[in-house]
Amino acid sequence: MEAADVFLPVIAWCRTRQSQDSQAEARRQKRRLKLLAVQRLRLKKLRETWRLREKVYKQSKLRRLCSHDTWMKAITHQFLRDHRRKRPKVWLHPRTSDWWENTAATFTDQEWLQHFRVSRETFSYLCATLNPKLRRQDTNYRLCIPLEKRVALTLYKLAHPCDYRTVADLFAVGVASVCHCVHEFCTVVIEVLKPQLVVTPNKFQLDNIEECFHHTYQIPQCIGVLDSMNITISRPPHLNSEKPDGDSYLAILFQAVVDDKGLFWDLSMSCPTWVNDNSGELLVCEDFSTRMHNVCRTDSSCVVIGDAGYPSKNWLLKPSTNVSWLTAEQELLNTQIIAARSVAHYAFERLKGRWRCLSRRNDCNVEIVKDMVETCCVLHNLCEKNNDMCLPDWIGQEPLQTVDENPQKNSESFDDLLQLIQDSAE
């Protein structure tokens, strides 16, 4: 009984203590849950705050970028507007082309020949032959100059001693366009037509030329006549030599060999040099002498007739200069040589008569001047082969009398010399 009385309070106290501990643990657990909920709520609010701040930052950054992009676009637009090429007030200057389209279209054959120095058939041949090289296409900005007009204005420029502006006003084009058309036409003619029209004769052609000279002038083994002319030019900027005297002028020496029909078959030109009216004849370059030597010594000893002022060459036949000691045979040979040289003289007169640009000072570049001279020679051969007329007023004298299309010598002087030879022989 006493033992039970002792343990019962202890057991009651333990139970009470256990109940208190359980309640305290429940309160602590409740407090921990409450603190955890508060922490979660605080973290949630913090995340929302950072998310809002990040959104605001992105929006402000985007606004700054947009404003910077707009600012850069404005600066770029202003820069381009200030530095762009100013639009011309007149893109294409209005011109009237009545002369070419209306007046030239009504020309008679004689008037056409007078203005362009070639017949209509030769003009059509030039347009058809040079069309692959000179053909141009229209663009979205402007129409190209027609091929016929480009060929016509070039022929007019070569045929008349006028400047580029005169040709530009006639054909209703710009001055720069005239320069370009002339240079392009000359380049294409040299490339396409020169290999066909200005070539060294072959063996059969040389035999025909030799036979013609022998039949007409009694000069055997002659295959051509050598002559030259001076093309006056302006002083190039790179030329350092001074003018030697007051009578000298700057020129390009043009030298050519002519056959029995007055056609050029070899052309040579020198560099610009100071010349005067008393300058002697020169051989333009060593290459020319080599070519003549190769042609004349290919199969037989042929010769080329030249003036007495040329230097002595084994392929060059010149008249005797010591006229006070000439025999009748030498005087006869001199007369024959002079008569044969009239072929080259007349060919050069027809060349200068057709293409008057060769008779005045040329202000173009030296290389362009040479191309223009070669083009004129090619066109001369083309006109001669097509039997285009060469009017007497172009050369200022009546054409030489011809027999079988060859210049004829003065028969009376030859008869007198032949009679003198016969008398001396008796």
> Is 60 exceeded by the pLDDT of residue 256?
yes
Question: Rounded CA gap, 273 and 252, in Å?
Answer: 6
How far apart are the two ends of the chain, measured CA to CA in Å? 207
Closest CA to 262 of 320, 178, 347, 151: 347
How many CB atoms are closer than 10 A to CB 155?
Answer: 23
Provide the mean pLDDT of the chain: 82
- Who wins on pLDDT, 205 or 141? 205
State residue 285's pLDDT score: 67
> Is 50 exceeded by the pLDDT of residue 421?
no
Model confidence pLDDT, tens digit, residues 99-126: 888 888 899 999 999 999 999 999 999 9
> Is 80 exceeded by the pLDDT of residue 239?
no
CB 369 within 8 A of CB 234: no
> Is 60 exceeded by the pLDDT of residue 18?
yes
Sign of CA dihedral 65, 66, 68, 69: positive
As separate numbers, helices (DSSP H) first and strands (DSSP E) second, the chain gives: 14, 8
Q: What is the three-class DSSP state of 232?
A: strand
Residue 297, both tokens? 């010594």
pTM, 2 dp: 0.71
> Is 80 exceeded by the pLDDT of residue 214?
yes
Q: Kindly state the average pLDDT of the residues 34-40.
A: 90
Closest CA to 305 of 328, 333, 270, 268: 333
- Who wins on pLDDT, 204 or 246? 204
Residue 53, both tokens? 């701040």
CB 266 within 8 A of CB 256: yes
Tell me the domain boundaries of the chain.
Answer: 98-192, 198-237+246-425
CB 126 within 8 A of CB 151: yes
DSSP assignment of 350-374 equals HHHHH-GGGGS-B-S-HHHHHHHHH
Extended strands (E) in 167-248? 222-232
For residue 319, the surrounding DSSP H or E stretch is none
State residue 151's pLDDT score: 94
